[in-house]
C-alpha cells in the first residue's frame, strides 16, 4: 500500500493528536482534532485513522481505510472567555480510560473498556491574544473509531495554548504554555455513565499543584513514562531551549 494513502484529507497544523490502542482488540485509532488550515483559518473538523495491528505483516498493510474526516465536530460555545468559535490550535488532546481514572490507586472512575478524548484550551487564530479556555470531550466508538457526538461535553476554564499535557490520576495536567509560563496546573475530571457516558471537568477548578517548572516553556513536548513526566525543549523567555526537565506525578 503506498505511503501517500496515509495523507490527511485537509492540510492542518497545530492539531490535537493522540494514538489510542483499543482495549479489547488489535485496532489502533489515530486522531487529529481541529488546528489551522493553510490560510490560518481554524478548523471545526477532526480526522481519524483506523489501523488493524498485525505484527506478522508490514505496518503499511494495517490501514483499514484512509483518514476519515468529520466536519462540524467542534461546536460554538457561549459565555465568558469561551464565547464564539471553539475551533483552535496548539491545544492538548488527552486520552482517558480506566488506566488513568483512579485518584488514589484504589477506586476507579471508569471500570469498563470505554475510552474518551478531551481537547483542551488553545488559540482560535494566530494571535497570542486569541487563547480560549474551552474543553470538549467525546467518547470513542470502539467498533469504528468515530467520536460519539452524543457524549459532547463543553466547559470553560482558564485560557492557555502550547502547553505540555498529560492525563493521569483522574486529572488533566497542563505544564507551562503561552507566555511562556512556568506553571503546573491540574483539574480533576468526573465520569457520568448515564444517560450517555461522558467525562466532564464540570465545576472543578484548576489547582496549582504546589509546583512549578524549573524553566518557563511554550510549545514543548511532554512525555509520560510510568510516573515520570518529561518536559522537552520549547520556547522560553530568552529563546528556544534544548533542555529537558522531569517530575513525578
For the chain, domain boundaries: 3-248
Q: Measure the CA dihedral 211/214/216/222, to 10°.
A: -80
Element (H, E) at 232: strand 228-236
Q: What is the CATH number of domain 3-248?
A: 2.120.10.80
Per-residue pLDDT tens digits for 10-35: 999 999 999 999 999 999 999 999 99
pLDDT score recorded for residue 3: 47
Rounded-to-5 percentages of helix, strand, coil across the chain: 5, 45, 45
pLDDT score recorded for residue 31: 97
Per-residue pLDDT tens digits for 86-95: 899 999 999 9
Distance, in Å, from the CA atom of 208 to the CA atom of 173, rounded to the nearest integer, reads: 10
Provide CB contacts within 8 A for 78, sequence distance 6+: none
pLDDT score recorded for residue 2: 47
State if pTM tops 0.85: yes
Q: Which three cell numbers stand for residue 53?
A: 495491528
Per-residue pLDDT tens digits for 146-155: 998 755 666 7
pLDDT score recorded for residue 150: 58
Amino acid at each position: 500500500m503506498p505511503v501517500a494513502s496515509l495523507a490527511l484529507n485537509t492540510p492542518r497544523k497545530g492539531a490535537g493528536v493522540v494514538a489510542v490502542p483499543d482495549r479489547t482488540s488489535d485496532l489502533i485509532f489515530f486522531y487529529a482534532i481541529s488546528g489551522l488550515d493553510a490560510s490560518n483559518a481554524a478548523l471545526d473538523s477532526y480526522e481519524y485513522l483506523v489501523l488493524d495491528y498485525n505484527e506478522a505483516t508490514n505496518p503499511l498493510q494495517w490501514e483499514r481505510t484512509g483518514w476519515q474526516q468529520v466536519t462540524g465536530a467542534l461546536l460554538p460555545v457561549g459565555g465568558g472567555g469561551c464565547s464564539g468559535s471553539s475551533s483552535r490550535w496548539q491545544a492538548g488532546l488527552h486520552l482517558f480510560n480506566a488506566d488513568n481514572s483512579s485518584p488514589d490507586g484504589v477506586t476507579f472512575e471508569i471500570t469498563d473498556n470505554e475510552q474518551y478524548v478531551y481537547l483542551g484550551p488553545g488559540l482560535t487564530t494566530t494571535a497570542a491574544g486569541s487563547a480560549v479556555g474551552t474543553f470538549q470531550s467525546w467518547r470513542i466508538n470502539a467498533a469504528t473509531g468515530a467520536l460519539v457526538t452524543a457524549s459532547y461535553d463543553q466547559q470553560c476554564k482558564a485560557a492557555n495554548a502550547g502547553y505540555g499535557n498529560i492525563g493521569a490520576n483522574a486529572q488533566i495536567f497542563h505544564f507551562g504554555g503561552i507566555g511562556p509560563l512556568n506553571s503546573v496546573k491540574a483539574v480533576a475530571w468526573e465520569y457520568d455513565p448515564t444517560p450517555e457516558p461522558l467525562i466532564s471537568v464540570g465545576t472543578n477548578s484548576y489547582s496549582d499543584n504546589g509546583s512549578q517548572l524549573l524553566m518557563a516553556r511554550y510549545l514543548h513536548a511532554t512525555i509520560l513514562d510510568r510516573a515520570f513526566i518529561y518536559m522537552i525543549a520549547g520556547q522560553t523567555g530568552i529563546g528556544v531551549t534544548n533542555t529537558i526537565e522531569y517530575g513525578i506525578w
